[in-house]
Amino acid sequence: MGIIRDRQQVLDVYADAAQRGWVLAGFNTENLTTTEAILSGAVEVAQGIGCADLPIVIGLTNLYPQRPQAVNYTHTRCWETGLKLFLADIEALLGPGSAFADLKVLIHLDHIRPDIDRDLLGWDMGRFSSIMYDASSRPIDQNIAATAAFVQEHRDEIVIEGACGEIADPLGQVKPEPTTPDAAERFWRETGVDLVVADLGTQHRAAAAELEYHGEVPRQITERIGPRLVLHGASSIRPEQISNLFADGVRKVNIWTALERDATLALLRDMLTNAAKLVGPEQARQLAADGLLGEAADTKSPASVSHFTTHYRRELVFGRMKKIVADYLQLLYV
Ligand SMILES: [Zn+2]
């Protein structure tokens, strides 16, 4: 197994997952720690359920303004450097003797926009397993024309997700309505994409409590176009809703926010608890005097290399992210 890039083999992974009643899990990353956590969480679940070749999608956005993840991958702020490192990281992690070698790993380009990602779109698409071609910021007719042209050119090289509707963003000006079945059907027929990203009521980076995933919308769309929906903003839906996704015709989910959001809480809590080990007793007492540390915080221990390093912070983030990945996989692969 390992990285699967061949278009037909990628489609086979989707077909095989559907056979099992699984919604494929797609996690995005913007650093090596997250990439490793995704693979480690997947291996843990693979062993737990006795399915060594578990499928997993690892993706990243490029210049997507809401979150340019290839840019964020390094401090150079250069997308090309970030994207090359992302690919190199996965290839190295899945190299000979790798603990992850049995997984079926799909490499996904997410929210690739024709207007700003033109240089990347000139790359050999065969280096990736799938792409979300995102022209959804354009009026629907232009979106369909651009997406259809991309499909025409690359349909033999890569599995293509098209974006029928814009996904809402709490910071954005646009507050789109959920995609209608008519719009989804027209988009799918006229573009020829393999998978359709529709607005199903979720949002990027939203708080779960305020959101409603509209189960009847994907069911109505699926009646028209078959089960080929991709759900973005999955961090914003409640765990009990995830178990309905397969029946609603969703075949892949994209998850990112939950990884970073929940890992940060774990990191902050551990850093506060062990404050003196991170910064030494003098600084810890100063932080307490400033009202930033409470009574439960350690203000006495000497500073320790086990705590004041980037390695410590990465380990904590990694451990928490791995757990989140495993928890999602246990919901999606049942
Ligand atoms: Zn998205």
pLDDT in tens, 192-233: 999 999 888 777 766 555 566 778 889 999 999 999 999 988
Q: What is the 232 CA–ligand 1 centroid distance (Å)? A: 5
308 alpha carbon – ligand 1 mean position (Å)? 34
> Residue range 169-182: average pLDDT?
71
What distance in angstroms lies between residue 21's CA and the mean position of ligand 1's atoms?
A: 23
Q: What are phi and psi of 205, to 5 degrees?
A: 55, 40
Residue 178 confidence (pLDDT): 80
Give distance in angstroms: CA of 205 to centre of ligand 1.
Answer: 9
At residue 296, φ and ψ (nearest 5 deg) are -75, -10
Q: List all residues 6 or more positions away from 78 whose beta carbon is below 8 Å from its beta carbon.
A: 71
Centre of ligand 1 to C-alpha 251, Å, is 15
Cα 279 to averaged position of ligand 1 atoms, centre (Å): 38
Give me ligand 1 centre to Cα 133, in Å.
Answer: 11
pTM for the full predicted model: 0.94
To the question of domain 2-263+324-332 being in CATH 3.90.1720.10, the answer is: no
105-157: pLDDT as tens digits? 999 999 999 999 999 999 999 999 999 999 999 999 999 999 999 999 999 99
**233 alpha carbon – ligand 1 mean position (Å):** 6
Q: What is the mean pLDDT of the chain?
A: 93
Q: What is the mean pLDDT of residues 53-73?
A: 97
pLDDT of residue 179: 86
**Whole-angstrom Cα distance, residue 103 to residue 122?**
29
Which pLDDT belongs to residue 207?
A: 57
Cβ-contact 245, 214 below 8 angstroms: no
Whether the per-residue pLDDT at 261 is higher than 80: the answer is: yes
pLDDT, position 2: 93
Rounded to whole angstroms, the Cα distance separating 220 from 101 reads: 39
Span 273-301, average pLDDT: 97
Torsion of CA 17, 19, 21, 24, to 10 degrees: 10
State the DSSP string of 189-252: HHH--SEEE---S-BTT--GGG----THHHHHHHHHH-S-EEE--GGGS-HHHHTTTTTTTEEE
* Mean pLDDT calculated for residue range 57-85: 97
How confident is the model at residue 215, as a pLDDT?
84
Report how far ligand 1's centroid is from the alpha carbon of 97 (Å): 33
> Between 257-273 and 32-49, two packed helices, what is the crossing angle to 10 degrees?
100
- Alpha-carbon span 119 to 41, nearest angstrom: 33
- Cα four-point dihedral sign 91, 11, 108, 263: negative
Please tell me the distance between residue 253's alpha carbon and the centre of ligand 1 in angstroms. 9
Assign residue 180 a region (left: φ > 0; alpha: ψ between -120 and 50; beta: otherwise): beta
d(Cα 294, Cα 226) in Å, to the nearest integer? Answer: 55
pLDDT of residue 209: 54
Residue (of 267, 273, 272, 280) closest to 311 by Cα position: 267
**CA distances from residue 182 to 139, 221, 263 in whole angstroms, order as listed:** 16, 8, 40
Amino acid at 297: A
Residue 170's pLDDT is 57
Contact of 19 with 51, CB cutoff 8 Å: no
Ligand 1 mean position to 236 CA, how many Å? 12
Q: For residue 103, how far is the Cα from the chain centroid?
A: 17
Identify whether the C-beta of residue 229 lies closer than 8 Å to the C-beta of residue 196: yes
Cα 216–chain centre separation: 24
Domain ranges of the chain: 2-263+324-332
The closest of 256, 261, 233, 257 to 245, measured between CA atoms, is: 233
